[in-house]
Structure 1
Amino acid sequence: MSPDEAPVVTGAEPGSFARSVLAERHPALLGRVSAAFPWPPERRRALDGLLGEVSGGVIAPLPADAHDAGGWGAHVGRSWFEVPFLWAESYFYRRLLAATGYFEPGPWRGVDPFGPFKRDELRGAAVDEELAALDDLGASSGDALLRSALWGNRADLGFRMSASEGDPSASHPVADDSARLWSLLPVGGAAEVHLIADNAGRELIPDLVLLDHLLHTGRAARAVLHLKPYPYFVSDAVTADFLAALDRLRAAPGHAAAGIGARLWSALSAGRLGVGAHPFFCAPYPYEAMPDDLRRDLSKATVTILKGDLNYRRLVGDHHWPATTPFADRVARFPGPVAALRTLKSDVVVGLDTPTLTTLEAGGTPWRTTGTHALIQVSP
């Protein structure tokens, strides 16, 4: 099925997941951001104006002098609920940054509006418990570390604003190509692994632990961590979040986490661990539309691991695909082998076999959006 045949996901359908995000989650987030800082009157007015717009108005343009104003005009003047969901979500976060003055000269330039939420999570007791658990995991427990990175995606702050985290121990991946992933990364194979991160904090830490495992055990000779160039989707990781997570690991004396943090610090200094933040990671387009410079960079990878729901939607296309659509068909234009690690929190899913899909549909629960199911898919 081509993209022209599979309907694009929008928020037009009452009761749909996409509509609930646009009508409920985004206004709730604006309330939290408004309360998180002592915004001056002009910033508060801008936030209130955006709230009124997303609550029932039409899409307004960015300020004419915005550095990227020309790239966001496709759906201006239309209802937020009628345009592609991927675009609407991305543009909402870009408008939120405009409202807070993130890109403008002045005292609020570069201030992450989601920073307080990220810091609170990273300092929390749950992170202490997870770091302590590394002591019992063992340095060679690759499968356990892969599962930790997979289920870490349920720590998405935006998801937890509107639903409980679920219990991953009660579920198994609905698709599991982990054996294929390990076959691409034999010990001593001099692989280069790229990981396109999703969320900061409790999700980014297991991602870093997984990268350390690959480097430390010789499954990778080099790794590259790709982050967002600016705050995006509430909790998506930027470079400052990476450094904060690295410090959190290093500040765990007496635990395996401290050793992991020290090794990652050394790997970063030695160039065995690289960091990227391409502007395309904050663009409202599928990965098949990535620019040539990013395509060349990712083509160097033995395998690129994509984390999270948003990356998955961009990887396969944010359309209502039949769930049995082959994963390989939807990622055929990606520049090299690709692995998706994703906790399901939106409607889009491909690559399921018919018996699995039949069982899931017969369960009577919204398995696509609750974060209680996950997948590991690899191609080729």
Structure 2
Amino acid sequence: MPVDAPPPRIRSDDPASFAASVLRDRHPAIVARVLADLPLPAAARDGLAGLLQDPTVTPLPRDAHDHEDWDRWGEPYFGQSMFEVPFLWAENYFYRRLLHATGYHEPGPWRGIDPFGPQKAADLPGEDELRAVQESGDALLHLPEDEQASALVAAALWGNRADLGFQLAHGLAQAQADLVADDTELLWKRLAGGGTVCVVADNAGRELLPDLVLIDFLLRAGRVRRVELHVKPAPYFVSDALTADVLAELRRFPADSAIGRRLWAALRAGTLELVTDPFYCAPLEFAQLPAGLAARFGAATLTILKGDLNYRRLVGDRSWAPETSFADVTGYFPGPVAALRTVKSDVVVGLAAGVEERLPASWRTSGAFAMVQVRG
């Protein structure tokens, strides 16, 4: 399908669709978990209940710090059901309303309290796991650098599915077999010339751990001079990484962990920089980047976007034909860009002809397949 005539945006008005199941089934489960994890006051509980009872898109309260932005973004959709508006927009709206209900941005005792904090804490790797990572990382040093690189990209790509002890001698072949698009070779060509690499994070917890180890490798091996790790400015999509989540993970490394010490030192020295922007919690796609982020990405040797949500924001949350060119769809992006994504939603571009016909019917939402795609 031509990029200059893009297909419709995905919506949730088909009850049998994956998008509808997220709003209908996943969102109530998320609210129930927040209510179970936190002793929220009655007003917060009522606000969360109301969010589920009435799916109508309405303006944020006038005292919300960002109500003017949401007035502008929501103006085409006010009065409609979340099931009737673009799916990506509806998801973002749900999480913004959830943060308002729990008082995250509002003055008071619950200001700044991550409603997903208990879930994230439960997913932090333990000391034994981190020691295994260090030991396996040390073992990787004896492999050729290209084998180290392949193993670390596989771990960063698969997240929770990857063996976080990096026992990849047994799992790497299967991980590669489940790649439906694989530009890994081009990825490493882009990561051979120094400069600055932007890594736009996805999840915290165990999925963040291989990202941090990959960043350590890039700096230690001299593949890059600097890394910017971009994180969310507020809790979003349950497990998305914040600055606090990165620091919590680094603090869990044992005191004698060389990886932990190097990453901490890199943050102090500025060769690893944490970056955030309000854009990351806006119902927008990367085609609508603010000038500041566009300048950062334009100046970078490569921007690596992790995860399914960032992929949807990169290519557009639309019903693309799967053979649509990834390079064409992402041609607007201000610099070279790579997507490392475990496929967990309907949006797909860049497949070779005939690939989808060989995959199971549920492959787009099963989390069993992945993509490494590069433009630049």
TM-score, length of structure 1 as denominator length: 0.89
Q: Deviations over 1:256-278 (max 9, x none)?
A: xx211110111111111111011
SS at match of 1:198: coil
Q: Could you tell me how far 1:171 is from its partner in structure 2?
A: 4.3
Q: Could you tell me how far 1:127 is from its partner in structure 2?
A: 4.5
1:342 alignment partner in structure 2: 341
1:373 alignment partner in structure 2: 369
1:330 alignment partner in structure 2: 329
* Counterpart-to-counterpart distance in 2, 1:221 and 1:43: 46
- Alignment partner for residue 177 of structure 1, among 166, 183, 194? 183
SS at match of 2:261: helix
1:215 alignment partner in structure 2: 219
Q: Could you tell me how far 1:126 is from its partner in structure 2?
A: 9.1
* Counterpart-to-counterpart distance in 2, 1:153 and 1:335: 31
Q: Could you tell me how far 1:170 is from its partner in structure 2?
A: 8.8
1:259 alignment partner in structure 2: 258
The verdict on how the C-alpha distance between 1:130 and 1:279 changes in structure 2, with shifts beyond 3 A counting, is farther
1:70 alignment partner in structure 2: 68
Residue 151 of structure 2 aligns with an amino acid whose one-letter code is: A
* Counterpart-to-counterpart distance in 2, 1:309 and 1:137: 31
Structure 1 gaps, min length 5: 156-167
SS at match of 1:296: helix
The verdict on how the C-alpha distance between 1:154 and 1:199 changes in structure 2, with shifts beyond 3 A counting, is farther
Residue 113 of structure 1 aligns with an amino acid whose one-letter code is: P
Alignment of 1:172-321 (within 5 A): 172-186=178-192, 189-249=193-253, 251=254, 253=256, 258-321=257-320
1:50 alignment partner in structure 2: 51
Structure 2 gaps, min length 5: 163-173
* Counterpart-to-counterpart distance in 1, 2:70 and 2:128: 39
* Counterpart-to-counterpart distance in 1, 2:91 and 2:365: 16
* Counterpart-to-counterpart distance in 2, 1:320 and 1:133: 44
Paired positions, count:
356
Q: Could you tell me how far 1:346 is from its partner in structure 2?
A: 0.1
Q: Could you tell me how far 1:299 is from its partner in structure 2?
A: 1.1
- Alignment partner for residue 90 of structure 1, among 92, 97, 106? 92
SS at match of 1:275: strand
Residue 289 of structure 1 aligns with an amino acid whose one-letter code is: Q
Residue 196 of structure 2 aligns with an amino acid whose one-letter code is: E
* Counterpart-to-counterpart distance in 2, 1:329 and 1:5: 11
**8 A Cα contact 1:3 1:319, kept in partner:** no
**8 A Cα contact 1:339 1:379, kept in partner:** yes
Q: Could you tell me how far 1:358 is from its partner in structure 2?
A: 2.4
Q: Which moved more, 1:116-125 or 1:96-105?
A: 116-125
**8 A Cα contact 1:316 1:331, kept in partner:** yes
**8 A Cα contact 2:232 2:242, kept in partner:** yes
RMSD of equivalent CA atoms: 2.0
* Counterpart-to-counterpart distance in 2, 1:304 and 1:101: 33
Identity of aligned residues (%): 53
TM-score, length of structure 2 as denominator length: 0.90
Residue 320 of structure 2 aligns with an amino acid whose one-letter code is: W
SS at match of 2:206: coil
